[in-house]
Amino acid sequence: MSHSAPNLSSKTVPTSGPITMVDAIRQAMFEEMERDPAVVAIGEDIGVYGGAFKVTDGLLAKFGRERVIETPIAETAIIGAACGMSFLGLRPVAEMQFIDFIACCFNQVTNFVAKSHYLWGAPVPMVIRGPSGGGVHGGPFHSANPEMYFVHTPGLKVIYPSTPSDAKGLLKSAIRDNNPVLFFEHKYLYRRLKEEMPPGDYTVPIGKAIVRRAGRDLTVVSYAAMAHTALDAAVELAKEGIEAEVIDLRTLLPLDKETILASVKKTNKLLVVHEDTRTGGIAGEIAALVFEGAFEDLDGPVTRVTALDTPVPYSPPLEERFLPNTEKVVAAARKLAKY
């Protein structure tokens, strides 16, 4: 198998210029499937239709039905089949049409996929990817952020990128990893921003956060769509003389503890922003981490801006009330900065 750049149709995957997150994920799939014949795609409507969000558009024409496998609407069967494929030497990438429905295969993911390596030494090189998140008025069954169920599951890795270049590089790393990886794709970001891809066959390391904006007055930790909300808030805060340092986690499991602690030790204040609901969200875990590792550096309470503890509303005004936004982040940061 050649390791040169894949021969892609420009109608399917742009080969130059800034591209969207959808295109970046598709590009990663094309490149990895061409690089490694063991990589296969499996899921509902991923072939002829090209996926609900067109992420897999063109894969069937390029790689054929043996490597682009369409399934019934049966998430448990998709994950069970993908797990079996991984035991036989393949590297399946399983799509959940909406990540909400990963709940249907929770037992497969948490009791079998996540534990197989620990129980009997079997690597499980598979990726479960799918659209997640709100902000598009999808309602309670198509807007979830269920990442913390799986962050709490030993044996898994959990990725949730915020940019096209990170999405591509992290998906390539996930496909090459010998552990099962959950790859969340925020659907609000799919086509709302474009970015130039780094040249060549690049990857982004799993488990490494990035400082998106340097600051001195407080640290804001976030990920996925809320990383952009945090950056927007930092711009507004700077107008008031408050310089916020913004960290984009990118990976939730394993968590980059070192980057978080180093920032808090510099700014002495921490605000965590996430779209997941409040109770049991990663903000609580990060708060505990900072209390244990940087308590004496804190000059104010660890603060959270999160979604409300309800299902995601369908009504646009109610969803807006439910979700964090720039105004809410600015207000919380302004209050924290006064300590």
Active site positions, annotated = 142
Sign of CA dihedral 215, 220, 221, 226: negative
- The strand pairing partners of 182, in sequence order, are 128, 158
74 Cβ neighbours under 8 A, 6+ residues apart: none
Strand, coil or helix: 96: coil
C-alpha atoms less than 13 angstroms from C-alpha of 31 in its C-beta half-sphere: 24
Distance, in Å, from the CA atom of 127 to the CA atom of 76, rounded to the nearest integer, reads 14
287 Cβ neighbours under 8 A, 6+ residues apart: 270, 272, 302, 304
- The strand pairing partners of 219, in sequence order, are 245, 270
DSSP string, 158-173: EE---SHHHHHHHHHH
Length of the chain: 339
Look at strands 127-132 and 181-186 and give their pairing: parallel
Distance, in Å, from the CA atom of 93 to the CA atom of 79, rounded to the nearest integer, reads 10
Sign of CA dihedral 46, 49, 55, 56: positive
